Structure 1
Amino acid sequence: MKHTKQILGLALMSFALTTMYGCEPKAKKTTVAPVMAQALNVPEKDKPKNNTVKIALLLDTSNSMDGLINQAKSQLWDIVNKFTHAKCGNEQRPELQIALYQYGNDNLSSNEGYIQQVLNFSGDLDEISEKLFSLTTNGGEEFCGEVIHTSLKQLDWGNNPDNLKMIFIAGNEPFNQGKLNYKDAVTNAKEKDIVVNTIFCGNYEQGINTEWKNGATLTGGEYIAIDHNRKVVHIDTPYDDVIIQLNSKLNQTYISYGAMGSAKMEKQRVQDDNAYELEEAVAVKRAVSKSSRLYNNKQWDLVDASKDESFNISEIKKEELPKELKEKSETEIKAYIEEKKSDRAKIQAEIQELNAKREKFIAEQQQEGEKGELENAMLEAIKKQAAKKDYKWEE
């Protein structure tokens, strides 16, 4: 499994493609009788979000797939950063959830078809990053039909017709290997309104001849062939170092609480380090993601938690607070949270402003073809399909 510049980028594309299942241009009118309407009057904060994009990444981690895995680690942040600009016709901002599977690795159980769920659907970007960095490659048997079937069976795709649901599977062995017929698996996916997109790591015609294209076509998905040896071109900009410095300041605005607070804060730091070790440009893109609406840590950070209408600081036990707040009064704690919230908003705004200049610089410096044919085709498909489903992209 190879280039993830495309795989994750692909995910983005699929998000746009699947807009066909979910973005409601106008609020639906209700004709329910007044009494029933009153009975169904659910508080706004308790209503489920209609516009949720669910993406399952099925990555081949057999021997020659190191390039693919590295691309996935890098391109996660590109997808998030593009996705944060998405808006539905009814002005709602879609939520993003990603699940991760690995397959075709000898270290996995043969009884499970050399398949493992690495991550259930999650919107926790630090957790998604951590799981991607945990992947290693080893030889094995690659059963595409079985891993698709397993993801359909194990994941909670939900029954909401407004949700956008898609699978991205990447590999380089014949798509029809294994006892489970891939046609049955993708037919099941289509019945659940899930689009299967396939990424073949190799020659375009070879992918067609080994059923990869058919695997996508049967659900209306996209088939793409990529050159796994093609190196992603990152362009350094004058804004990179400043954004990375701002990221360090951004981390200082987090106030951990609860049983998992300190561990989650440490995970945040580790994933910053992982991105930087991969490449400085990746660390920059991660910092940009952390300044977006999709990076929300209300489960362990008091600043994000305080943005919820239901948040009540008096319900937080003293022992769940960080050391610096344990002896403070409720009024002092609220003031401290507001101070950090204000600091964070300013830092995030500055990162976004610098990133706009960074993207302009990259666009001016980038040579024709440096993005790669796949990425160009993908972005064109995203905007074309998104327009049909009334998605808008604020650039």
Structure 2
Amino acid sequence: MKNLILFLSIGFLILSMGEAFGATNEGNNSDAPFGYKVEAKQSAFKSKPTVKIALLLDTSNSMDGLINQAKAQLWDVVNKFGYVKCGNDTRPQLQIAIYEYGNDNLSSREGYIRQVIGFSSDLDEISEKLFSLTTDGGEEYCGQVIQTSLKQLDWGKNEDDLKLIFIAGNEPFSQGKLNYWDAAANAKEKDIVVNTIFCGNYELGISTKWKHGAILTGGEYMAIDHNRKVVHIVTPYDDVILQLNVRLNRTYISYGAMGATKMAMQSTQDQNAEAMEEAVMVKRAVSKSSRLYSNSEWDLVDASKKRDFDVSKVEKEQLPQELKNKSDKEITQFINSKKEEREKIQKEIQELNSKREAYLAKNQKDSSKGELENALLSAIQKQALKKNYTWE
């Protein structure tokens, strides 16, 4: 009996050591005996690559036009990624971060730099942060804001991720104590491409080192007229898309502590887009019909798509008034009906948008597109090809 107990104890000890050793080697591909387990985990991780874009925007006095273009053209960038596929036919997630720099209202100790929002997939919150930006004079330190974004943001280590920085401004790229060469070297180490957008004359941007700042990481140098007004083409499909957007909003079921606040934010960002121009709201509505517009943290329809969703665990007092006294079965039925309605509306918007894009292709000249939009999308597509990303 003693021998049996001893044998079982030794077996249990060996098993425990094996599990512990396996845990410490998870993610390490160097040990062949544990390769199968590691490869399976890495494969699962790699099946969900992410496009990470950090926008570093100069918010000094002269940059009102740049900020307005960013507000108007956020949805063009989002909509472009609605059609992207990775090499293994999966669709990547999109995360956007925003920094502002060169503004007198910012802390001089921080180099007149502020993280407006870290990497986020919350498109409403990203829009809200963009619309909160204001301009004021200041010192513009390109090398320092690049380095700050490299240190503060979670860029991850997935080789399939597309990691891009876009820095826009109009002062010499070499300003500040931190050498932009060093920032570029750090970016390259992390497989991050720095693209530079000079707001002004192309040759002046070259002479003030903006082109060199991009070349160091294999990025693109672009010069734009940031004060140019974006010309939006009206199409025969816009009104119907806007009507569908109103119906789309009615399919959202807020829940949780932030539910009501987030639903109000959704409405406010609709108003912000529409206040700029009707066509901007149309683009936002198209984004809201895509897979990239997901609000599982506050909307029960999106939350119900998660594998671990359990309607019985949702606190009744955090539900909308019309659901508080309903049974779990009734709530589930209500969610499913809204989900079905939403999918139908989203499909209609996507179909109309296909016709809208065909109309724009026929009637819109390249010169009528937004300057910032052209710069961003041109660089993104070129660099995405290197990661084996394709567009449908």
Assess if the C-alpha contact under 8 Å between 2:248 and 2:345 holds in 1.
yes
Q: What residue number does 1:24 align with?
A: none
**Residues 303 and 43 of structure 1: is their aligned pair in 2 closer, same or farther, counting only changes over 3 Å?**
farther
Superposition map of 1:63-102 within 5 A: 63-102=61-100
**Aligned-residue offset at 1:363:** 1.5
Assess if the C-alpha contact under 8 Å between 2:142 and 2:173 holds in 1.
yes
**Aligned-residue offset at 1:331:** 0.7
Aligned amino acid, residue 124 of structure 1 = D
1:346 corresponds to which of 341, 344, 349: 344
Q: Please list the CA deviations of residues 113-147 of structure 1 after superposition, one character each: whole Å capped at 9, or x if unmatched.
A: 11100001100000000000000000111011111
**Aligned-residue offset at 1:230:** 2.2
Q: Please list the CA deviations of residues 238-292 of structure 1 after superposition, one character each: whole Å capped at 9, or x if unmatched.
A: 1111111111100000000001011000000000000000111100000000000
**Aligned-residue offset at 1:232:** 1.4
Q: 1-side partners of 2:383 and 2:278: how far apart?
A: 33
SS of the residue 1:307 aligns to: coil
Q: 2-side partners of 1:300 and 1:268: how far apart?
A: 11
Rg larger in 1 or in 2? 2
Q: What residue number does 1:245 align with?
A: 243
Aligned amino acid, residue 79 of structure 1 = V
Q: 2-side partners of 1:274 and 1:86: how far apart?
A: 27
Superposition map of 1:320-359 within 5 A: 320-359=318-357
Assess if the C-alpha contact under 8 Å between 1:50 and 1:160 holds in 2.
no
**Which range is displaced more, 308-317 or 375-384?**
375-384
1:367 corresponds to which of 358, 365, 368: 365
Superposition map of 1:381-392 within 5 A: 383=381, 385-392=383-390
Q: Please list the CA deviations of residues 336-361 of structure 1 after superposition, one character each: whole Å capped at 9, or x if unmatched.
A: 00000000001001111111111111
Q: How many residues are paired up?
A: 364
Aligned amino acid, residue 365 of structure 1 = N
Q: What residue number does 2:224 align with?
A: 226
**Could you tell me the TM-score, scaled by structure 1's length?**
0.87
**Aligned-residue offset at 1:367:** 3.4
Q: Of the two structures, which has the highest relative contact order with CA contacts closer than 8 Å and spacing of 6 or more?
A: 1
Q: 2-side partners of 1:178 and 1:373: how far apart?
A: 27
Q: Please list the CA deviations of residues 27-62 of structure 1 after superposition, one character each: whole Å capped at 9, or x if unmatched.
A: xxx998787746986699x85764111111000000
1:141 equivalent to 2:172? Answer no
Q: 2-side partners of 1:374 and 1:243: how far apart?
A: 25
Q: What residue number does 1:5 align with?
A: none
**Residues 211 and 255 of structure 1: is their aligned pair in 2 closer, same or farther, counting only changes over 3 Å?**
same
**Aligned-residue offset at 1:162:** 2.1
1:313 corresponds to which of 311, 314, 319: 311
Superposition map of 1:170-181 within 5 A: 170-181=168-179
Assess if the C-alpha contact under 8 Å between 1:207 and 1:213 holds in 2.
yes
Q: What residue number does 1:199 align with?
A: 197
Q: 2-side partners of 1:171 and 1:35: how far apart?
A: 49
**Residues 373 and 253 of structure 1: is their aligned pair in 2 closer, same or farther, counting only changes over 3 Å?**
closer
Q: 1-side partners of 2:232 and 2:170: how far apart?
A: 25
Aligned amino acid, residue 61 of structure 1 = T
**Aligned-residue offset at 1:164:** 1.4
Q: 2-side partners of 1:43 and 1:328: how far apart?
A: 43
**Aligned-residue offset at 1:227:** 1.5
Q: 2-side partners of 1:179 and 1:377: how far apart?
A: 28
Assess if the C-alpha contact under 8 Å between 1:275 and 1:282 holds in 2.
yes
Assess if the C-alpha contact under 8 Å between 1:52 and 1:163 holds in 2.
yes
**Which range is displaced more, 376-385 or 112-121?**
376-385
Q: What residue number does 2:183 align with?
A: 185
Q: 1-side partners of 2:164 and 2:365: how far apart?
A: 32
SS of the residue 2:61 aligns to: coil
1:106 corresponds to which of 104, 107, 125: 104
SS of the residue 1:271 aligns to: helix
Assess if the C-alpha contact under 8 Å between 1:224 and 1:374 holds in 2.
no
Assess if the C-alpha contact under 8 Å between 2:73 and 2:370 holds in 1.
no
Aligned amino acid, residue 137 of structure 1 = T
Q: Percent identity?
A: 70
Q: 2-side partners of 1:72 and 1:214: how far apart?
A: 24
1:211 equivalent to 2:204? Answer no
Q: 2-side partners of 1:136 and 1:377: how far apart?
A: 22
Q: 2-side partners of 1:121 and 1:325: how far apart?
A: 33
Assess if the C-alpha contact under 8 Å between 1:96 and 1:294 holds in 2.
yes
Assess if the C-alpha contact under 8 Å between 1:195 and 1:219 holds in 2.
yes
**Which range is displaced more, 367-376 or 385-394?**
367-376
Q: 2-side partners of 1:368 and 1:215: how far apart?
A: 27
Q: What residue number does 2:391 align with?
A: 393
SS of the residue 1:292 aligns to: coil
Q: 2-side partners of 1:223 and 1:293: how far apart?
A: 31
Q: What residue number does 1:162 align with?
A: 160
Assess if the C-alpha contact under 8 Å between 1:102 and 1:118 holds in 2.
yes
Unaligned 5+ residue runs, structure 1?
1-29
Assess if the C-alpha contact under 8 Å between 1:305 and 1:311 holds in 2.
yes
**Aligned-residue offset at 1:216:** 0.4
Q: 1-side partners of 2:373 and 2:123: how far apart?
A: 22
**Residues 314 and 159 of structure 1: is their aligned pair in 2 closer, same or farther, counting only changes over 3 Å?**
same
Q: 2-side partners of 1:196 and 1:86: how far apart?
A: 21
Unaligned 5+ residue runs, structure 2?
1-28
